[in-house]
Amino acid sequence: MKFQKASFLLLMFVHLSTVLFSQQRGNRQNVPQQSQSTATSAQEVSPQNMAGLIMYDNEVVIKKLKIKTASKKTLVTQAISKHNAKINELKTFNFETFDKVKFFLAKKRNEAMANRDFRTMREAQMQAQEMLAPIKTKVRVQKNMLNETFEQELSEKQNKTWLKYQQAELKKLNPRAQEKQQTQRNSQGSRRGQGRMNN
């Protein structure tokens, strides 16, 4: 009798363990999807990107501009370090504004999706830009200061390369604009291809 009881309890334990394991496994499978959707929504709203906050890697810049002399390397490193420090200050001192904007945009996006009224989202984007305007002005000042330093100290060719690189890095802050640009390029390319085939 004791043996039967023990066997029954063992079977129950194994059964419960199996059920719990399968549930945990199912939950684990759902986690990447949930985190992926959370990550996607987080990527959609980045007030820091909207404000144009960008920091540069001095080694990447030196390589990109093909700077060889030690004095110019030092100058570029110092200028970028100074710029990055100021941008970091702006990030730190304005974190409440960034959080506020992020929450505001997420709320408006959910409302727009629920009501299928995407005009609300466009208006919200404009409001968010107004909220970020003072920060954007300060970011522009830092950008101009860095560009002025490089204009004075770099060769004309190096400065042109820098401005082109800077523009490309700033575009990365707005992936949607990049996607739109890529789509336009692809459609233009396909039109040209069709034109050649017709000829």
Residue 21 covered by a domain: no
Residue 111 covered by a domain: yes
> pLDDT tens, 13-65?
444 444 444 444 444 444 334 333 333 343 466 899 999 999 999 999 999 99
Structure tokens at 101: 């904007």
Are 36 and 59 within 8 A, CB to CB? no
Residue 193 covered by a domain: no
Residue 99 covered by a domain: yes
Per run of 10 residues, the mean pLDDT along the chain (length 199 residues) is 48 44 42 38 70 95 95 96 96 94 90 82 90 96 97 95 95 67 54 56
d(CA 190, CA 186): 6
Residue 26 covered by a domain: no
d(CA 193, CA 198): 9
User: Does the reported pTM lie above 0.75?
Assistant: no
Residue 199 covered by a domain: no
Residue 65 covered by a domain: yes
Burial category of 173 from C-beta neighbours within 10 Å (exposed 0-12, middle 13-18, buried 19 and up): middle
Give the range of the structural domain holding residue 76, as residue numbers without chain letter.
Answer: 43-186
Predicted confidence at residue 115, as pLDDT, reads: 82
Give the count of domains, the chain: 1
Predicted confidence at residue 167, as pLDDT, reads: 95
Element at 78 (helix H, strand E): helix 70-93
Residue 143 covered by a domain: yes
Are 150 and 79 within 8 A, CB to CB? yes
